[in-house]
Amino acid sequence: MVHRERRRFVAGLGATLGAAMGGGMLPGMAHAASDAWPGRPVTFIVPFPPGGPVDVTARFTAQPLGVKWGVPAIVDNRAGAGGIVGAQLAARAEPDGHTFFFSSIHHAVRPTSANTPGYDYVKDFVPVGMAAVFPIVLVVHPSLPIKSVAELIAYAKANPGKLSYGSSGNGGGTHLAGELFNSMTGAKLQHIPYRGSAPAMQDLLGGQVQIMFADGPSAVPHIKAGKIRALGVGNPERSALAPDVPTIAESGLPGYEAYSWSGLVAPARTPAAIVARVNADLVSVLTDPATAKAMLAAGAEPKPGSPEAFRTFIQTEITKWQKVIREANITLD
């Protein structure tokens, strides 16, 4: 009986979506779909392993959302292929408001740098809202006689090809941050990709590489210990994780912005009324002082906003990183 009721619910949504695609959803239909939701547990797909910044964001937000909705909220980690596996699964999910996807910068840029990602981030998903940003910090080994971004630019131009920077992997956010720096300055920092942030940071600490565009949580403890020197953060404003560190724009490169992020999206054709409801509740959770404090302690800076603002942000990110990817000839397998 329960299964029959669920089939009826999904079938009803399918008819509603058909009307929307054919000639536009009537307001009454949208409200009806929203009123019937949620009809069962809601799943949040995370395309990375547990413990990473996107996973942390999902876990801090999903549980209170489930409480608001009166149903279990399930965080489903579907890691693999640099986030492709989870994205494909989410893109193919029923657009009935019971599956959402915590996407990241990787998903906005991957279709421009991979041959067959198996999904279209713009066409296959509808934005729900930004969730969090994760600072990228430009740090150097203390042996370099450099104390600002302006000094780094001058030093790199005077010593072309002699400086190298480590990243957490080819085509990732920290790699793109370095190539954006090269593009904007004309510097020729050599890229050394690693399999994750930890080995890259170890080589920076050991002096095997001189520079790193590092994620905030892995860099801040070493900055505080004096083992590496921070030149700037890629955020548009100073980061709450390291408020004494200037932005890269402040420190010598106006207009520079590069940071990782995570935002919530839903499968395309998810009813607009459900998207609006989820966005409102997500904003409520992210602006809760206790949640915000816990996320900051874990290295995630809450960044609530509207679906429209997130859509505009996505388009801006895609345009910016497409240019960087083409210029640096970045490709992924």
Model confidence pLDDT, tens digit, residues 141-191: 999 999 999 999 999 999 998 999 999 888 889 999 999 999 999 999 999
Does 137 have pLDDT greater than 90?
A: yes
Instruction: Count the neighbouring beta carbons within 10 Å of the beta carbon of residue 278.
Output: 24
Does 8 have pLDDT greater than 50?
A: no
Q: Is residue 252 part of a domain?
A: no
Check which CATH number belongs to the domain holding 66 and give it: 3.40.190.150
15, 118: one domain: yes
Q: Is residue 245 part of a domain?
A: no
**pTM score, two decimals?**
0.84
56, 14: one domain: yes
In the DSSP assignment, the letter for residue 24 is -
Q: Is residue 246 part of a domain?
A: no
137, 214 in Cβ contact below 8 A? yes
Check which CATH number belongs to the domain holding 175 and give it: 3.40.190.10
27, 36 in Cβ contact below 8 A? no
Q: Is residue 128 part of a domain?
A: yes
193, 294: one domain: no
pLDDT at 274 (0 to 100): 98
Residue 326: C-alpha distances to residues 109, 114, 160, 322, 329 (Å)? 11, 12, 21, 6, 5
163, 190: one domain: yes
129, 92: one domain: yes
pLDDT digits (tens, 9 = 90+) for 198-240: 999 999 999 999 999 999 988 999 999 999 999 999 999 999 9
Q: Is residue 244 part of a domain?
A: no
152, 126: one domain: no
Q: Is residue 296 part of a domain?
A: yes
Does 290 have pLDDT greater than 90?
A: yes
Q: Is residue 249 part of a domain?
A: no
- What is the number of structural domains in the chain? 2
145, 113: one domain: no
Of residues 107 and 333, more confidently modeled: 107
As a whole number, mean pLDDT of residues 65-79 equals 97
Q: Which of 233, 252, 281 corresponds to the end of one domain?
A: 233
Q: Which of 233, 248, 281 corresponds to the end of one domain?
A: 233
pLDDT digits (tens, 9 = 90+) for 246-288: 999 999 999 999 999 999 999 999 999 999 999 999 999 999 9
Nearest to 99 by CA among 278, 293, 310, 301: 278
Does 333 have pLDDT greater than 90?
A: no
As a whole number, mean pLDDT of residues 78-91 equals 92
270, 123: one domain: yes
273, 153: one domain: no
Choice among 21-30, 137-146, 147-156, 188-197 with the minimum mean pLDDT? 21-30
As a whole number, mean pLDDT of residues 83-92 equals 95
Establish whether the linkage from the previous residue to 38 is cis, with ω within 30° of 0. yes
pLDDT at 64 (0 to 100): 97
Per cent of the chain over pLDDT 70 is 87
68, 95: one domain: yes
Residue 17 confidence class, pLDDT cut points 50, 70, 90: very low
Does 10 have pLDDT greater than 60?
A: no
281 lies in which domain range?
A: 2-133+261-328
As a whole number, mean pLDDT of residues 124-145 equals 97
215, 193: one domain: yes
Q: Is residue 196 part of a domain?
A: yes
101, 155: one domain: no
Q: Backbone phi, then psi, for 3, in 5-degree steps?
A: -65, -40
Does 21 have pLDDT greater than 80?
A: no
Six token digits for residue 119: 């999904």
